[in-house]
């Protein structure tokens, strides 16, 4: 593998790791800085096909609403690896439900990174 291609893979992984750190801080402003203006997010809910959000304004509101509804949200990375412009992250999502019970679920995000920012994030959850 050429050094340039390896650098792109490593860069994509670094962007995804920084995005996850911002997620765990509930730092929407820094999450959005790591996303392209035309970014698309496909959330795993509602089942079976999820919902699609696109553009920074819509995605900003989505994340703000998400953290408001789930103030204890935390992603634990189980594995992350890259393939060119793609980065795959296997994770465990932790939250506290409305009854105060700790909950978690496992899933996978498939990211596409372009020009050093995330332009696509597709989420899949075990159900």
Q: Which structural domains are found in the chain, ordered by start?
A: 3-125 (3.10.450.50)
pTM score over 0.85: yes
Query: How do residues 37-56 score in pLDDT, each as one tens digit?
Result: 999 999 988 888 899 999 99
Calculate the average pLDDT of the chain: 92
Q: Which residues contact 127 (CB under 8 A, 6 or more apart)?
A: 47, 105
Tokens encoding 27? 């730092």
Return phi, psi of residue 55, to 5°.
Answer: 90, 145
Query: How do residues 49-98 score in pLDDT, each as one tens digit?
Result: 899 999 999 999 999 999 999 999 999 999 999 988 899 999 999 999 99
Return phi, psi of residue 118, to 5°.
Answer: -75, 125
């Amino acid at each position: 593998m050429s050094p340039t291609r390896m650098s792109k893979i490593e860069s994509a992984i670094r962007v995804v790791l920084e995005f996850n750190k911002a997620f765990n801080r509930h730092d929407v402003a820094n999450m959005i800085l790591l996303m392209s203006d035309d970014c698309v997010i496909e959330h795993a809910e509602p089942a079976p096909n999820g919902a699609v959000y696109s553009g920074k304004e819509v995605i900003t509101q989505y994340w703000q609403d998400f953290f408001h509804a789930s103030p204890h949200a935390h992603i634990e990375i189980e594995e992350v690896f890259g393939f060119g412009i793609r980065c795959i992250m296997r994770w465990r999502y932790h939250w506290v439900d409305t009854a105060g019970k700790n909950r978690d679920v496992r899933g996978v995000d498939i990211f596409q990174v372009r020009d050093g920012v995330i332009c696509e994030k597709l989420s899949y959850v075990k159900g």
